[in-house]
Amino acid sequence: MKETWFRIALGTDDGPRLVVAPGPHLGAAIELASRRLGKAWPLAAATAAPGEVPLGESVGKGVIALRDRPEKVGAFRWPRGVVAALDGGARPTVVTGTVERAASAGWALEAVAGGDDARERFLSIVERLPAVDNLEVRVAAHFDGGRDDVWLTPRLSDPRRALRFLDDFEVDLLDSGHVDVAAYVRAPQSTWRLTQHKTLVWMTVDDALHARVRGWLDEAGLPRREALPTIADGPHHHYRPAAASPRARLETRLHRARLRKVASTPA
Q: Kindly report the pTM of this predicted structure.
A: 0.94
State the average pLDDT for the chain: 92
The percentage of the chain sitting over the pLDDT mark of 90, rounded to a whole number, equals 78
Res 108: pLDDT: 95
Neighbouring residues of 249: CB distance < 8 A, sequence distance ≥ 6? none
Does residue 73 register a pLDDT over 90? Answer: no
Torsion of CA 98, 102, 107, 108, to 10 degrees: -40
Mean pLDDT within 13-42: 92
User: According to the model, what pLDDT value does residue 56 have?
Assistant: 58
In eight-state DSSP terms, residue 262 is E
Residue 81, C-beta contacts closer than 8 angstroms, at least 6 positions apart: 175, 176, 177, 178, 179, 196, 198, 238, 239, 240, 241
The per-residue pLDDT for range 134-189, each reduced to its tens digit, is: 999 999 999 999 899 999 999 997 889 999 999 999 999 999 999 999 999 999 99
181: nearest Cα among 129, 232, 122: 122
| Per-residue pLDDT, 88 | 74
In angstroms, the CA 45 to CA 26 distance is: 8
Q: How confident is the model at residue 1 (pLDDT cuts 50, 70, 90)?
A: low
The per-residue pLDDT for range 52-72, each reduced to its tens digit, is 776 555 666 677 877 777 877
Q: pLDDT value at position 101?
A: 80
Indicate whether 267 pLDDT > 80. Answer: no
- Say whether the peptide bond before residue 188 is cis (omega within 30 degrees of 0): yes
